[in-house]
A and B are shown apart, each in its own frame.
Chain A
Amino acid sequence: MKVLILSHAHPVFSKGGGELAAYYLWQGLGRDPGHQAWFVGRGQPEVMHKFTTLAAVGERDYLMAGNANVADLTASTPLGPESDLAQLLTGIQPDVVHFHHYVHLGIELVRLVRATCPNAAIVMTLHEYIAICLNNGQMVKTDGRLCHQYSPRECHLCFPHLKPDDIFLREQYIKSFFRLVDRFVSPSAFLRERYVAWGVEASRIEVIENGIPEDDRIPPRHLSPGEIRGRFAYFGQINPYKGVDVILEAFVRLPRAVRKQVTLDIFGSGLTMWPSEFQKKIESLQKKLKYTVRLHGAYEPEEMSRLMTEVDWMIMGSVWWENSPLVIQDAFKFGRPVICPDIGGMAEKVKAGVGGLHFRARDSASLAAVIARVVAEPALFENLHASLPGYSTIGEVAKRHLDLYAALKSVPC
């Protein structure tokens, strides 16, 4: 089977969970000699050629230009039969074209694919909520509150320069392309529900977890005599959505006696891309915690196993719903319990008491209480560690996709 994967970014230049998942799928499909897979990931203008929209970066591995924004998702590249992508598709004649996300490259590419390869199955993996929510697809209102449902009238209150009709029109436009998709894949049941509520038929969305590379579990950190399991770590971007500030606030709230027994290691970067108010907030919280918190900066996925060795707990602070964070699977893979907010994709992947604990989302006091509890109850770690769930490997996930493709291809298109 010939499968072409289109992704909103390329992991060589961008390390987001969505593009990593797409790339892992490509790698997984390519392992099977009975199948061929191509990867086309969006590259930012700086890495592209001037007069063509495609650039090969490896065997069956391409970059493609595109600047479709969140507001209208419309492609900036040519869309006709003479376009570079149409030519590539015509040359390959794929059986399946799999979209991993629709932002950046542009929603219209779905119709381009349908017009160019009328017999190919079109599969689309949904990542966050960009079709539904103009606020970067977070389903968080612009005043900071969580958003529970799509409604053009309410969206207008978040984006007053857009009329409800503009938002409705955007919905109808996106849906005109969604109708051309044969099957959607959602990495979490929670995300699937949100898309169903927005209007995609439930029967058209299948839940398949994203896969990650296989690796060995690491034994729990070696403790010195009398030492407790007080090492917490955060892995990921430092931005307002990820709630690093919530985590820091929780540590500030800890009673001094507890705080003396704990540390927080932050692996990740990106702080400087955000408004100075947010930067100042993080910096001032960090100052209050100078003996407790350490900022380590960016890391590569390959380093994770080594970094995890010195960690007891993984903490997430996200103030939005999330979808299916790869970092949770990483924690499970390496054998570290997760403390995360009790909403959305996080609550779905981490069941309270099974490999992890919940705190009330966006509530640093609640997180502080959970931290105090794990410090006070050493047995808790052992229980959670013992109940850690498994994770989806690249191979398993590739297999599930191949089954899906095969099922779709047996139905005449």
Chain B
Amino acid sequence: MREIAPGKLVPLETIKTVRTCIDFAFKSSPGALALVGWIHDPESNVQGFSLVQKGRHGHDFLKTRTHAAALLEHGVQGVQIARLARPDVTKALGGPTSSSRNQQGFVLVVPSLPPEAAVALSLKDGHLALLNFVALKDFSLVERTLRQIWHPSGGYLLSALRAAHAAGFPQAQLTAALESIQAEQTRDAGRERFATCDQAILLNGRALILNGWSEKTQKEIDRVVLLTNQGEIDLTAKVLRYLRPDLFARYPWSYEEELGFLCVSTEAQAVVPDARLRLVTSGGQSQIIRLEVLEHDWTHLGEFIDSQPVLAELLLKQLAMADGLDEDPGGQEVHLAGLRRSSFLSRHPHLPLHVAQPEKVLAAVERAYPLGEAGILIFGWQLTPKLKALSLSVRAMDGEAVEIGDTGVPLLREDVAQMYRAQLADVNEWSGFAWLVPLPTRHGEARALCFDFGRKGEVWLKVPTDKPATSGMNLVKELLGLVPHPERMRHNLYALFSSGLGKAVEELRRSRPTGEPKIEQRHFGRTVGNAAVSIVVPLYGRADLVRHQLAQFAEDPDFRGVDLIYVVDDPGILDATLELAAKYQALFNVPFRVAWYYENRGFGGANNIGAHLARGEYLVLLNSDVIPRHPGWVATLRAALDSLPDAGAVGPLLQFGDGTIQHAGMYPRRDPQLPGFLLNAHKSMGLPWEGSAEPSEHPMLTAACLMLKKQAYEALGGFDEGYLVGDFEDSDLCLSLRKQGKRLWLVPEAKLWHLERLSQNLEPIAGHRQMLTLYNGWRYSEKIRAGKLADPTASKALR
């Protein structure tokens, strides 16, 4: 059951557009409920059945304004919901007029109703309308009523009760009564009767549609012939047999055999009022059915289709194969498209998010992310213990369907396996899926996931496309958090990202508000005019590091002429930063700027903004947790960049507080536990520095402290902002420089402390943080594979 927002209770009578009637209600003492009735809902106001919690308010609860409610869904905890056509209701309401569409019979069986709960209709506007009924207690009355509702609802009720029985519906007595009525009905039908035609419709006077069922299987029916006063028309080849769930109760073999029949014939235009259908079995049995032919136009047909969820898809397929259904040759296609759309839309609100039909499929759609043109990412799980679906597709209202051919990388779902272990013989633990389906989808567009079992029917699930509550990074974090047990699927994570998850993350990240942010800045101290060097320091998480850096910069005469820019990439520390800046500039007398934009754009974005503001020809990218060991390091790096051969960027030796190496060049690394990913490693990290003071070339350098020409940085477009939070931007930049033939030099004469534990890992390395890093790693590896970056593993000399 899905919790929905608490709603306000309204009396059913006050809703003018909805009429309901309960034909039969039965309630057993431990809280089992069976309801049979119909809802006339021409404006589609009803969303479904809900359980409303009365709480401790007792009988006063009607006065309370809002109530917690949960939507009842088919299959959940044994709840059975069946919808069926009610020609009798249609007739009573004055025939199939445009105002009678969507009228539907229903059967609702709840095996265990929570105490203090009542059943209500959930309305589109969020209100709840209690269903009023008097549950029968006297069993003779029960039997009499059951007999009255046997046609057309009894079969559905019996099959619903049987299905619910497994989930603990206690009332064997009710089932027994229904079975005995069923036996009576079958006996009364007589020997000769083995088939029924439920509907005979003449569409536009051009095509005859016959829908019915026969207890004889396909093999047993020899011939189907339409008898008219102008002769016989043989329909045998046109008859399509399909599963009729409403007959499961009466004919248990119908689980396996398709007892329904459907026939569309355009040869039978000249049908006269007394047309009859003759069916002949291979055993020589014969039955003639008198047809009550209804003359329908497209509108009437639409209403009929909307009331026949089981039949709708089949019939639309059959009609699409027929010709000449409309006077206007182009009209047929337009009208069929309309029917398809209206059928889809009338079905869609009632589609479940979860189905449990062990004979076909158990599945759930748990979360979906519409990605615009890129399609839709769907999370869920599926088990098909007995059959394999012929096809699996996502459908849209106009009949567009995109097949999910490759079901991609399975996700581990221990929870699902746990839930069905008792019920199913063999449960696959890897039932989860994350499918990126390339059907362009925007928020609010109706989508359905369809398991097609051929003539055994289709199983449809709703794919929710509601607008998510969050956006940007939070949405990405939420999405990555949905991958269950990433630590148990390390072997397959690269493939998972490649199979669509990676692309989806990229799309969602892009979904944040675009456009250049409005940048504000303030100068502290005198403005540095002709600075040759600009130093960009992004701030995130803590502002106090500014104080520590300035204390060290104050001792370095170079900083009197450096264009120092602090970029506040964390709106939460803006006030603290400006306060610190004002207080400590007065003390340390190092001129600098603070730039901010009320956003978090990540490490790459913040540096790009800082670089854009930079006035110097030389650019130093510096982390806030890096503090110099000695004055003069800026000049040392600058001289190195000017003089070393083909220098694209230079970096200093970075040391931990205890003097050991934090960074002395970065190297590519593969982790056998994470096949596919190309990751970075800092060589000799944590070991004492014993290298020479001479510059040395390295495959990559960290951007914790990196100097390069501003022009070179901007020519590359700066850091690639596609990486999340702050990972791999530096190795990406380095490999872009190397692709242009530039070389990267470590200049150990310049030494700085890097206290990396201060700025990183502000959030615990939980599921999504690890997955963010792996996403970045995947993206980086893909760029190298695609040749967009130099391959860091290629040069043996630099390894």
Q: Tell me the bound Cα distance from A303 to B586 in angstroms.
A: 47
Contact, CB under 8 Å: A108 / B587:
yes
Find the B residue at minimum CB distance from A152: B657
B551 and A164 form a contact (CB under 8 A)? no
Does B547 interact with chain A (Cβ within 8 Å)? yes
Please state if B586 and A163 are interface contacts (CB–CB under 8 Å): no
A91 to B552, CA, bound (A): 29
Q: Counting CB contacts under 8 A, is A289 at the interface?
A: no
Q: In whole Å, how far is A107's beta carbon from the nearest beta carbon of chain B? A: 10
Interface status of A118 (Cβ within 8 A of chain B): no
C-alpha spacing A108/B551, complex, angstroms:
9
Do residues A173 and B548 form an inter-chain contact, with CB atoms below 8 A? yes
**B730 interface residue (CB < 8 Å to A):** no
B587 and A79 within 8 A (CB): yes
With a cutoff of 8 Å between Cβ atoms, the chain A residues found around residue B545 in the complex are 169
Contacts of A153 in B (CB 8 A): 658
* B583 neighbours in A (Cβ, 8 Å): 78-79
Contact partner of B657 (CB less than 8 A), chosen from A81, A83, A112, A164, is: A164
**B555 with A163: CB separation less than 8 A:** no
Query: Which B550-572 residues sit within 8 Å CB-CB of chain A?
Result: 551-552, 554-555
C-beta contact mask, A310-344 vs B, less than 8 Å → 1, else 0? 00000000000000000000000000000000000
With a CB–CB cut-off of 8 A, which chain B residues contact A111? 554, 587-588
Closest chain B residue to A86, Cβ basis: B586
Separation in Å of the B759 CB from the closest CB of chain A? 10
A residues lining the B interface (CB < 8 Å): 72, 74, 78-83, 108, 111-112, 115, 152-153, 163-166, 168-169, 172-173, 176-177, 179
A172 touches B548 (CB 8 A): yes
Cα A81 to Cα B757 in complex, Å, equals: 35
A78 touches B552 (CB 8 A): no
Give the residues in chain B near A81, CB-CB below 8 Å. 586
Chain A contacts of B588 at CB under 8 A? Answer: 111
**30 A-B residue pairings within 8 Å (CB atoms):** A72-B544, A78-B583, A78-B586, A79-B583, A79-B586, A79-B587, A80-B586, A80-B587, A82-B586, A83-B586, A152-B657, A153-B658, A163-B757, A163-B758, A164-B657, A164-B757, A165-B625, A165-B656, A165-B756, A165-B757, A165-B758, A168-B658, A168-B753, A169-B545, A172-B552, A172-B627, A173-B551, A176-B554, A176-B555, A177-B551
| Complex Cα–Cα for A111 and B555 (A) | 11
| Nearest CB of A to B753, in Å | 7
Q: Is the CB of B657 within 8 A of A168?
A: yes
Residues of A within 8 A of B544 (CB): 72
Min Cβ gap A134→B in Å is 15
Residues in B with CB closer than 8 Å to A79 are: 583-584, 586-587
Please report the C-alpha to C-alpha distance between residue A182 and residue B757 in the assembled complex, in whole angstroms: 34
Hey, which chain A residues are within 8 Å of B586, CB to CB? 78-83
Residue ID in chain B nearest A177 by CB atoms:
B551
Complex Cα gap A177–B627 (Å): 15
**Across the two chains, which residue of chain A brings its CB closest to B584?**
A79
**How many chain B residues touch the partner (CB < 8 A)?**
24
* B547 adjacent to A173 (CB under 8 Å): yes
Closest to A108 in B: B587
B196 neighbours in A (Cβ, 8 Å):
none
Query: Given the complex, which residues of A lie within 8 Å of B548, measured CB to CB?
Result: 169, 172-173
Give the residue name and chain of the B residue nearest to A167 (CB).
B657
For B554, the chain A residues whose CB sits under 8 A away are: 111, 176
Cβ of A163: which chain B residues have Cβ within 8 Å of it? Answer: 757-758
Interface set, chain B 720-776, CB cutoff 8 A to A: 753, 755-758
In whole angstroms, how far apart are the Cα atoms of A172 and B551 in the complex?
Answer: 9
State how many angstroms separate the Cβ of B167 from the closest Cβ of chain A. 51
Please tell me if B286 contacts chain A, counting CB pairs below 8 Å.
Answer: no
B589 CB-CB contact with A under 8 Å: yes
Bound together, the chains give a CA A163 to CA B760 distance in angstroms of 12
For B629, give the chain A residue with the smallest CB separation: A172
Q: How far, in angstroms, from A72 to B625 measured CA to CA in the complex? A: 17
Q: Which residues of B contact A112 (CB under 8 A)?
A: 587
Which residues of chain B have C-beta atoms less than 8 A from A74's C-beta? 547
User: A333 → chain B, closest Cβ, in Å?
Assistant: 42
Closest 10 CB pairs of A and B: A80-B586, A168-B657, A165-B755, A79-B587, A176-B551, A165-B757, A165-B758, A163-B757, A169-B548, A173-B551
Q: Per-residue 0/1 for B527-544: is the Cβ within 8 Å of any A Cβ (1 yes, 0 no)?
A: 000000000000000001
| Alpha-carbon separation in the docked complex, A74 to B544 (Å) | 11
Q: 1/0 per position for B625-660, CB-CB distance to A under 8 A?
A: 101000000000000000000000000000011100
Q: Smallest Cβ distance from A137 to chain B, in angstroms? A: 20
B residues near A152, Cβ cutoff 8 Å: 657-658
Bound complex: CA of A111 vs CA of B552, how far in Å?
A: 12
With a CB–CB cut-off of 8 A, which chain B residues contact A173? Answer: 547-548, 551
Closest residue of chain B to A115 (Cβ to Cβ) is B589
Q: How far is the CB of A203 from chain B (nearest CB, A)?
A: 20
Which of chain A's residues have a CB closer than 8 A to the CB of B627?
Answer: 169, 172
Contacts of A165 in B (CB 8 A): 625, 656-657, 755-758
Instruction: Chain A residues near B551: list those with CB within 8 A.
Output: 172-173, 176-177
Contacts of A115 in B (CB 8 A): 587, 589
* CB contact list, B591-639 vs A, under 8 A: 625, 627
With the chains together, A373 CA to B757 CA distance in Å? 55
Shortest Cβ gap from B586 to chain A (Å) = 3
Shortest CB-to-CB span from B705 to chain A, Å, is 16
